[in-house]
């Protein structure tokens, strides 16, 4: 039968409860060996037996103590070998000892020994039992068998005990190894998922995910495909081969006769060995013997596939398939988070761009309003309004164009100006601002000090409303003037309707314009000579 070699120092199989059981079992055997050999040693010297017996018991005691010392030092395999040697030697001492010591030797080698030690122990013990049966040693007595048939039964009994114990130990070891591998696999998947959850850049996410899965789970090649319409495009791949595949824009049709084509079509894991029809051989990956692809899902939507390749044809058992599917699910969540982050980043950038554009537009509007306000009031004050201000003094209001120092300072600074008067009173000057343009200023003098905050706040409110009202009045005057102008034009045109002579039309035009504009001289000429001279 095939026997799996189990070493107590093996970090994969020698752990947990199985290792603890083996250590305790070995400790019990070693202690029993020390007690038995020690008792035999004392008995030999008390009974003053044969020198050979004393030598044998002394050697046995030394072996038992050496096995105990090695066990205390943690040298499990060496201690196991010594205790097996002790049991085998004891089994060879007499037919009676063969049953007890041989059984212990077989069980110990089956539970604790390496393959070589186990096989050698079986050869020695079973050969001794067979030889005893065939040769029928003198002095053979109960409880050992006294016939060939009973000897054969003894041989088969010892063999069954040995093989059964070895089989149970191997099964327990395989279960322990499988449990440990599954735990390590899930731990690696969890650590990879945690690391990927912090990545919000899709390019970095894809690149690091394939490298981490390959390195932590020890695969030959790992890559990620992303579904784009009817194609599955390669977006990440490990190593130099992966770089070459990315450079040539490797892609496979969804639903094609390949692992990637089938998984992106069906939405469930697909395994293919290098001998299967569904396996798509890539000349850049000649060592692939098995390939597993698991779908990357976003809800019910297949958004890609995680492709894992191994040099071992039997690499993908149920545990690894489940673990890699969990890995693909975590990758899908990370992709979703990265896409949401990119979308939010784009939205934030677009919002910022629109905000900056609106700020620019607002500043341009404010500049144009300020320019229009300045041009409108400049024209109004220059040509249409002869009085630039009024002054209240001694209860009388008079027209006045003189700007005081406080008025000039308030207009230039665009801020209220407060001054204390020598008589204890106060002077407060306030600019009148319209559309960002200062169109005037006013000041108030009081014979007593005033609360600055209250006075400035009231004057600022009045200045704001005054600016709006002044602009409305100006616009109203402009509209009235435009209306009067339009009316005067209509009157001139009405007079044209009653005249049919060219000279009369010219006279009416010159007379009406002179009266409307207050002109003292005017002239009208009709001729094409000026244009003909210019053309020549």
Express each pLDDT in 316-335 by its tens digit: 888 888 888 888 888 888 88
pLDDT at position 1 is 31
Confidence band, pLDDT 50/70/90 cuts, at residue 302: very high
pLDDT at position 232 is 92
Q: Give every strand in the sheet of 270-273, ordered side by side.
A: 251-253, 231-237, 221-228, 301-310, 290-298, 270-273
| More reliable by pLDDT, 316 or 386 | 316
Residues 278-299, mean pLDDT to the nearest whole number: 85
CA angle in degrees (0–180, nearest 5) for 258-263-268? 145
pLDDT at position 137 is 44
Lowest mean pLDDT among 83-97, 116-130, 142-156, 467-481: 142-156
Task: Name residue 419's beta-bridge partners.
Answer: 427
Residues 139-153, mean pLDDT to the nearest whole number: 53
Q: Could you tell me which CATH number the domain at 390-492 has?
A: 3.30.450.40
Predicted model pTM? 0.51
Instruction: Say yes or no to pLDDT of 40 above 90.
Output: no
Picking from 128, 91, 131, the residue whose alpha carbon sits closest to that of residue 107 is 91
pLDDT at position 162 is 79
Instruction: Say yes or no to pLDDT of 147 above 80.
Output: no
Share of the chain above pLDDT 70, in %: 85
Confidence band, pLDDT 50/70/90 cuts, at residue 3: very low
Confidence band, pLDDT 50/70/90 cuts, at residue 149: low
The residues, any chain, with a CB within 8 Å of residue 175's CB and separated by 6 or more, are none
Confidence band, pLDDT 50/70/90 cuts, at residue 504: confident
Question: Residue with structure tokens 């790992």?
Answer: 222
Lowest mean pLDDT among 19-28, 378-387, 411-420, 517-526: 378-387
Question: Same CATH topology for 212-344 and 390-492?
Answer: yes
Question: What whole-number distance in Å separates Cα of residue 77 and Cα of residue 13?
Answer: 14
Task: Name residue 431's beta-bridge partners.
Answer: 441
pLDDT at position 394 is 76
Residue 184 tokens, joined:
């390590």
Instruction: Say yes or no to pLDDT of 11 above 70.
Output: no
- 8-state DSSP, 278: T
Residues 82-95, mean pLDDT to the nearest whole number: 77
Instruction: Say yes or no to pLDDT of 211 above 70.
Output: yes
The architecture of the domain spanning 212-344 is 2-Layer Sandwich (3.30)
Instruction: Say yes or no to pLDDT of 117 above 50.
Output: yes
Residues 355-377, mean pLDDT to the nearest whole number: 84
| More reliable by pLDDT, 238 or 138 | 238
Confidence band, pLDDT 50/70/90 cuts, at residue 535: low
Question: Residue with structure tokens 């995910």?
Answer: 209
Express each pLDDT in 217-276 by its tens digit: 888 999 999 999 899 999 999 999 989 999 999 999 998 888 899 999 999 999 888 777
Residues 117-130, mean pLDDT to the nearest whole number: 82
Instruction: Say yes or no to pLDDT of 458 above 80.
Output: yes
The residues, any chain, with a CB within 8 Å of residue 497's CB and separated by 6 or more, are none
pLDDT at position 294 is 92
pLDDT at position 2 is 32
Residues 54-69, mean pLDDT to the nearest whole number: 78
Segments making up each domain of the chain, as ranges: 16-136+144-181, 212-344, 390-492, 499-535
Confidence band, pLDDT 50/70/90 cuts, at residue 480: confident
């Amino acid at each position: 039968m095939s026997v799996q070699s189990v070493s107590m120092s093996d970090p994969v199989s020698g752990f947990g409860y199985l290792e603890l059981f083996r250590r305790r079992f070995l400790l019990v055997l070693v202690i029993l060996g020390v007690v038995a050999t020690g008792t035999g040693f004392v008995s030999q010297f008390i009974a003053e037996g044969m020198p050979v017996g004393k030598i044998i018991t002394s050697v046995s005691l030394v072996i038992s103590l050496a096995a105990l010392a090695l066990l205390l030092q943690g040298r499990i395999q060496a201690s196991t070998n010594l205790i097996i040697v002790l049991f085998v030697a004891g089994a060879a001492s007499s037919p009676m000892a063969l049953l007890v010591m041989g059984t212990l030797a077989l069980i110990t080698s089956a539970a604790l020994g390496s393959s070589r030690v186990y096989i050698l122990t079986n050869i020695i013990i079973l050969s001794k039992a067979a030889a005893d049966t065939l040769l029928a040693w003198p002095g053979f007595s109960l409880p050992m068998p006294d016939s060939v048939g009973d000897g054969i039964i003894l041989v088969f009994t010892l063999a069954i005990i040995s093989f059964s114990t070895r089989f149970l130990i191997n099964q327990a070891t395989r279960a322990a190894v499988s449990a440990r591998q599954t735990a390590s696999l899930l731990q690696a998947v969890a650590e990879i998922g945690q690391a990927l959850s912090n990545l919000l850049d899709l390019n970095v996410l894809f690149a690091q995910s394939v490298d981490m899965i390959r390195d932590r789970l020890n695969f030959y090649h790992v890559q990620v495909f992303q579904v784009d319409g009817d194609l599955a495009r390669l977006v990440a791949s490990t190593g130099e081969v992966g770089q070459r595949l990315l450079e040539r824009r490797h892609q496979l049709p969804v639903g094609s006769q390949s692992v990637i084509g089938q998984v992106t079509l069906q939405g469930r894991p697909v395994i293919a060995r290098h001998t299967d029809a569904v396996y798509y051989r890539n000349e850049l990956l000649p060592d692939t013997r098995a390939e597993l692809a698991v779908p990357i899902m976003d809800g019910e939507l297949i958004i890609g596939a995680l492709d894992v390749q191994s040099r071992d044809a039997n690499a993908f058992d149920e545990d690894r398939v489940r673990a890699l599917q969990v890995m693909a699910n975590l990758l899908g969540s990370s992709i979703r988070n990265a896409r949401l982050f990119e979308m939010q980043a784009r939205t934030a950038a677009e919002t910022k761009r629109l905000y900056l554009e609106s700020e620019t537009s607002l500043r341009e509007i404010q500049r144009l309003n300020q320019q229009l306000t300045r041009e409108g009031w400049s024209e109004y004050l220059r040509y249409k309004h002869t009085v630039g201000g009024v002054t209240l003094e001694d209860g009388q209001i008079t027209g006045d164009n003189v700007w005081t120092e406080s008025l000039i300072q308030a207009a230039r600074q665009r801020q209220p100006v407060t001054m204390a008067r020598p008589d204890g009173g106060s002077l407060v000057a306030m600019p009148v601002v319209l559309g960002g343009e200062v169109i005037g200023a006013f000041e108030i003098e009081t014979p007593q000090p005033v609360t600055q905050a209250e006075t400035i706040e009231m004057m600022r409110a009045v200045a704001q409303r005054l600016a709006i009202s002044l602009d409305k009045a100006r616009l109203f005057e402009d509209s009235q003037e435009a209306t009067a102008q339009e009316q005067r034009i209509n009157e001139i045109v009405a007079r044209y309707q009653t005249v049919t002579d060219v000279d009369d039309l010219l006279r009416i035009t010159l007379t009406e314009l002179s009266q409307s504009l207050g002109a003292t001289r005017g002239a009208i000429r009709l001729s094409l000579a000026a244009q003909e001279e210019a053309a020549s």
